[in-house]
Structure 1
Amino acid sequence: MKVEVLSVSSCQVKVENQAPLPLPSDPMTNMQTDGIKPLSGKPYFHVIISKTHLRPRYAVGPSGNICSTLPSVAVPTILNCRGKSWEVIYNGQNRCKQFDSRGWENFVKGNNLKLGDACVFELMEHGEKKIVFEVQILRGDFPNECAGIGESEVEPIILYDFPGTGESDSPFVID
């Protein structure tokens, strides 16, 4: 495999003759060392952390079909993550169903969430008295040289070789 850095300042990299990644002998091994557990089959939703999740209003809430599973009232909610628990309020009575901003802010700061991280919320228990989510965090760290890249159309992420396409000369742009 040949990797050519086209520009460190703009994080452009060209990859040629990329070999497929070897499959681990036991896929569970990698997940356990990273603290990631397979989902249990219960309902879940995920969030890719964006600016609105990290700054005042600190807004985040369930998405998709999981909302129909949750009660349409305010319910004390526990977010369990990496052996610790955070208390939030799920505001199911509102049109925009979200966790309360103060509780979510505590979770964000307690887990040092950053732009691009992903959170997977698995619904472990739910009712009108209490909701419990098991939360897994997948870090989306980028090198410091790439900070700000991909946040707008002005500075998109450009991949010169997209795995599986067989194309290495045509850039693939992510806005």
Structure 2
Amino acid sequence: MIFVCDKIQELGARFAAAVHLPDRRETVVLQRMGERWATVMQIRSGTRRLLISGWHRFVRDNRLRVGDICLFELRTHESWRLTMAVHAIFREQCC
């Protein structure tokens, strides 16, 4: 469970370890409601994995706001691309 940030999104360290996210910059394709968005995952400080380029467009296109929750589900982990399904829980639905 990750709370939404609008410009850059950090993936949790426990999630990254559990699904064996790579220790290098990589393209991550996000899927939601039949659509796809290409983002870039960047590594900072050795263990922090951030979705940078493309994340803001994903947030905008899905009308996400700070405080909404995203659940990331790893779908494929190929040598050249990661694909994750994203399940959104809007703040109004849970609080």
Q: Same fold (TM over 0.5)?
A: yes
Question: Taking structure 1 as reference, are residues 66 and 75 closer, same or farther at Cα in structure 2, changes over 3 Å only?
Answer: same
TM superposition outliers: structure 1 runs of 4+ over 3 Å? none
Q: Is the 8 A contact 2:2 2:69 kept in 1?
A: yes
**Deviation for aligned residue 1:121:** 0.5
1:97 aligned partner, one-letter code: R
2:13 to 54, 58, 64: 64
Gaps (5+ residues) in structure 1? 1-45, 143-175
TM-score, normalised by the number of residues in structure 1: 0.47
**How far apart are the structure 1 equivalents of 2:66 and 2:9?**
13
TM-score, normalised by the number of residues in structure 2: 0.82
2:50 to 87, 98, 101: 98
Task: Note the alpha carbon deviations across 1:98-133, whole angstroms, 9 max, x for none.
Answer: 011x31100010101013211100011124411010
**How far apart are the structure 1 equivalents of 2:8 and 2:32?**
19
Q: Is the 8 A contact 1:90 1:98 kept in 2?
A: yes
**How far apart are the structure 1 equivalents of 2:22 and 2:79?**
6
Gaps (5+ residues) in structure 2? none
Higher strand share: 2
Corresponding residue number in structure 1 for 2:91: 140
Identify the structure with bigger relative contact order (alpha carbons < 8 Å, sequence gap 6+): 2
Task: Note the alpha carbon deviations across 1:38-57, whole angstroms, 9 max, x for none.
Answer: xxxxxxxx2122xxx12xxx
